[in-house]
Amino acid sequence: MKPPKYGIAQWNCSTWGESEINAVIEHQHNQLGLPTSGLSTTPIFERAKFYALGRYKTGFGYVISIDSESLPALGVKQFVVNDIVRKPSILDDQEVILVAESFGSIPEQAVIEVTKVYA
């Protein structure tokens, strides 16, 4: 019998050991806000507005539009949650988690537009 290999053994959709898939699962798991290097995004404007306005939906917030086609050249990986996670926390978000190469900020060059939204 061969020993288990890093990132190969699976249960549910997590893998054995540290992996990008596990990070995606932890990032979105039950919307617990577990700390990862990822930034949650959605291609659905109304869902982005929902999150921008926060829990109490008072006042205003900002929706940032990102050029997803420019991300690979800027060193940013994109993980489509619905393609990776069997039971995403919020299926309708169509969440895409962005992770910068340095595990830091997403480069400003990726920003297309900032829209102020109101409750």
Report pLDDT digits (tens) over 44-98. Answer: 999 999 999 998 898 999 999 999 999 999 999 999 999 988 888 888 999 999 9
Note whether residue 18 is domain-resident. Answer: no
Note whether residue 52 is domain-resident. Answer: yes
Q: Which domain holds residue 105?
A: 36-118
Note whether residue 5 is domain-resident. Answer: no
Quick count: other Cβ atoms within 10 Å of Cβ 33? Answer: 9
Model confidence at 112, in pLDDT bands (50, 70, 90)? very high
Note whether residue 63 is domain-resident. Answer: yes
Note whether residue 92 is domain-resident. Answer: yes
Number of domains present in the structure of the chain: 1
Q: Could you give the CA distance from residue 29 to residue 43 in angstroms, rounded to a whole number?
A: 19
Note whether residue 89 is domain-resident. Answer: yes
